[in-house]
Amino acid sequence: MSDFATSLAQVQGQIDQACQQAGRVRQSVNLLAVSKIHPAESIAAFYQLGQHAFGENYLQEALEKIEQLQDLAIEWHFIGHVQRNKTKHLAEKFAWVHGVDRLIIAERLSNQRPEHVGPLNICLQVNIDGQESKDGCVLNEVADLVEKISRLPNIHLRGLMVIPKPEHVQAFAMTKQLFDQVKQYHAQPELWDTLSMGMSADMAEAIEAGSTMVRVGTALFGARDYS
Ligand SMILES: *Cc1c(COP(=O)(O)O)cnc(C)c1O
């Protein structure tokens, strides 16, 4: 097996095991392969192995890869910080945007979403443990944002996204609780089905708490070389 085939099988095995331990069905957890910094060739290699959903953090880099890989039926997710003046590209090129934390961003994405591609899936990013340096809305804004964003026409508000502090094990359970509490504010509650949480180091804990989408980079592609 190639290195990528091995790492993909290992990550799938970890997800299988975490689902078994949590008493969850395997299909309730999706794997998002986080490909930031890695070249288009590596994405294409994972695609050939059956992995079709990829997450990118940096817009310019992502747009280049999307262009290079346009012949593949990749589902592109933007998981980086969303800047207000960059929303047009996100609305046009991506299937999902995870880092939405303000109403103005969601409104712009809705307005700029081309009609022929269908609604844009978004997750509301919550700063679940109140980190000063982190993006994400604060806890007491969530209900109001769910109510307003879920009424935008070209958006499907799918759920919450968090990046807790590494040692903060309670954060995943807190997010799951919040996810259940705010569902009642959603205009189309049947769309509220996604908890985007868990990365290479903590995917098992996130699945235990109810994650439906783990965002995994290092465990699939290897370490990122920023040089
Ligand atoms: C880079 C990144 C990941 C993947 O992290 P790994 O530790 O490499 O698995 C997941 N989510 C977000 C938001 C990221 O920026």
Kindly report, residue by residue over 174-221, the tens digit of the pLDDT: 999 999 999 999 999 999 999 999 999 999 999 999 999 999 999 999
How far away, in angstroms, is 62 Cα from ligand 1 center?
15
So what's the pLDDT on residue 166?
84
Tell whether 195 is covered by a domain.
yes
Tell whether 172 is covered by a domain.
yes
Residue 82 has pLDDT above 80, yes or no: yes
Tell whether 215 is covered by a domain.
yes
Mutation test residue for ligand 1: of 215, 218, 220, the one with most atoms within 8 Å of CB: 215
CA 4 from centroid of its chain's CA atoms: 21
- pLDDT tens-place string over residues 16-42: 999 999 999 999 999 999 999 999 999
Ligand 1, CB within 6 Å, residue ranges: 34, 36, 57, 79, 163, 199-201, 215-219
Tell whether 186 is covered by a domain.
yes
Q: pLDDT grade, residue 153 (50/70/90)? A: very high
- pLDDT tens-place string over residues 105-129: 999 999 999 999 999 999 999 999 8
- pLDDT tens-place string over residues 157-186: 999 999 999 888 899 999 999 999 999 999
Dihedral sign (CA 125, 128, 134, 140): positive
CA distance 103 to 108: 9
How far away, in angstroms, is 36 Cα from ligand 1 center?
9
The atom number, within ligand 1, closest to the CA of 215 reads: 10
So what's the pLDDT on residue 2?
79
Q: Is 30 exposed, middle or buried (0-12, 13-18, 19+ CB in 10 A)?
A: middle
Segment 95-112 mean pLDDT: 98
Give me the number of domains the chain comprises: 1
Q: What is the 3-state secondary structure (H, E, C) of the chain?
A: CCHHHHHHHHHHHHHHHHHHHHCCCHHHCEEEEECCCCCHHHHHHHHHCCCCEEEECCHHHHHHHHHHCCCCCCEEEECCCCCHHHHHHHHHHCCEEEEECCHHHHHHHHHHCCHHHCCEEEEEEECCCCCCCCCCECHHHHHHHHHHHCCCCCEEEEEEECCCCCCCCHHHHHHHHHHHHHHHHCCCHHHCCEEECCCCCCHHHHHHHCCCEEEECHHHHCCCCCC
Tell whether 226 is covered by a domain.
no
Closest CA to ligand 1's atom 4: 217
The atom number, within ligand 1, closest to the CA of 200 reads: 9
Segment 130-156 mean pLDDT: 93
Residue 72 has pLDDT above 80, yes or no: yes
Closest CA to ligand 1's atom 7: 200
Tell whether 227 is covered by a domain.
no
Global confidence as pTM: 0.97
Domain that holds residue 112: 3-221
Tell whether 37 is covered by a domain.
yes
So what's the pLDDT on residue 227?
66
The atom number, within ligand 1, closest to the CA of 218 reads: 8
The atom number, within ligand 1, closest to the CA of 201 reads: 7
CA distance 31 to 213: 6
So what's the pLDDT on residue 51?
98
Segment 141-164 mean pLDDT: 98
CATH classification at residue 183:
3.20.20.10
CA distance 192 to 124: 11
Mutation test residue for ligand 1: of 14, 32, 34, 81, the one with most atoms within 8 Å of CB: 34
Segment 48-54 mean pLDDT: 98
So what's the pLDDT on residue 167?
81
How far away, in angstroms, is 215 Cα from ligand 1 center?
6
Average pLDDT, the chain: 96
Tell whether 135 is covered by a domain.
yes
The atom number, within ligand 1, closest to the CA of 163 reads: 13
Closest CA to ligand 1's atom 10: 215
